[in-house]
Amino acid sequence: MFQKLKERWKVNGLNLALIITTFALGGSLCAYAGRKLLIAMHVDKTSIGGLIIYIILITLIWPLAVLLVSYPLGQFAFFKKYITRIFKRFGGRRPTVATVMTPSTKHIAIFASGAGSNAQQIIDHFRHSSNIEIKLIVCNKPNAGVLAIAEKEKIPSILIEKEQFFNGDHYLPELQKNNIDLIVLAGFLWKVPEALIKAYPKKIVNIHPALLPKYGGKGMFGTHVHRAVIDNKETESGISIHYVDEIYDHGAVIFQATCAVDENDTPGSLAQKIHALEHLHYPKTIADLLR
């Protein structure tokens, strides 16, 4: 049962335990508050009328009680989304404050070609978000690890074909059908065609493993970048998150973070430093853009 809940809610064991605890404590708080209100109203709970009033009270109090308990347990985002779905299922409306404060859901498509470590970090970051959803994984390599991540996370994926991708807008309808608001390149090695850039102006972002405008352009990815940085005896490298335009690594820079390049660094050791920066800053920058 617990394994099915973990898969359904896409949470790990610790978060599942905290969610169950929140349900239990929230239910207890709801029942306690309902009894106190009946006493204050001088209503006899044992009567039929009193029982009906009690049921109405706990129905109204339960969402507030659960949200109150969820906050210190770090599960507020999960329960906010959970309660919203309940309201939608029964044809209700969100509470007025939530309606005013919560923007409509934004949908992300992640384009990746490799193992998908950045994709996994992004998925984890938005796992319990109430208004940002990873809607689609797009990949150009049938054996790429990111496809296994998509399957594990139960996120729809598309395996794209080169000629169709570069000629026209063959895959654009699929993106539009999924209401994609932002395309995130996470180790995607193909150049994005002009038709897609025009369809999503300033809505396609990439992360480059160097401080642009240095060490950018065609063929500058992964180990090639780190080796060039070391060979040129740079003392600093880092990441550049930027918009994507028609030229490789040319779009306006959104965010940069740096790390030192030590004398004994190798392309492999420098790559580890860069990956740490990517995992730390890419999801947060994406969240800032969508806000």
Q: Specify whether the backbone of 27 is left (phi greater than 0), alpha (psi in -120 to 50) or beta.
A: alpha
The catalytically annotated residue of 42, 125, 128, 208 is 208
- Which single residue is written with the structure tokens 């335009």? 245
- Give the three-state DSSP class for 237: strand
Q: Which two tokens stand for residue 227?
A: 């080796």
SS3 content of the chain, % helix, strand, coil (to 5): 50, 15, 35
CA distance linking residue 146 with residue 157, whole number of Å: 9
Query: Strand 253-260's sheet: what is its strand order?
Result: 157-159, 132-139, 106-112, 182-185, 204-208, 236-243, 253-260
| 208 a catalytic residue | yes
- Alpha-carbon distance of 253 to 258, in angstroms, equals 14
**Under 8 Å CB-to-CB from 190, ≥6 apart: which residues?**
113, 140, 162, 165, 166
Tell me which DSSP letter residue 43 carries.
-
Tell me how far apart the alpha carbons of residues 251 and 264 are, in angstroms, rounded to a whole number. 32
Residues carrying an active site annotation: 208
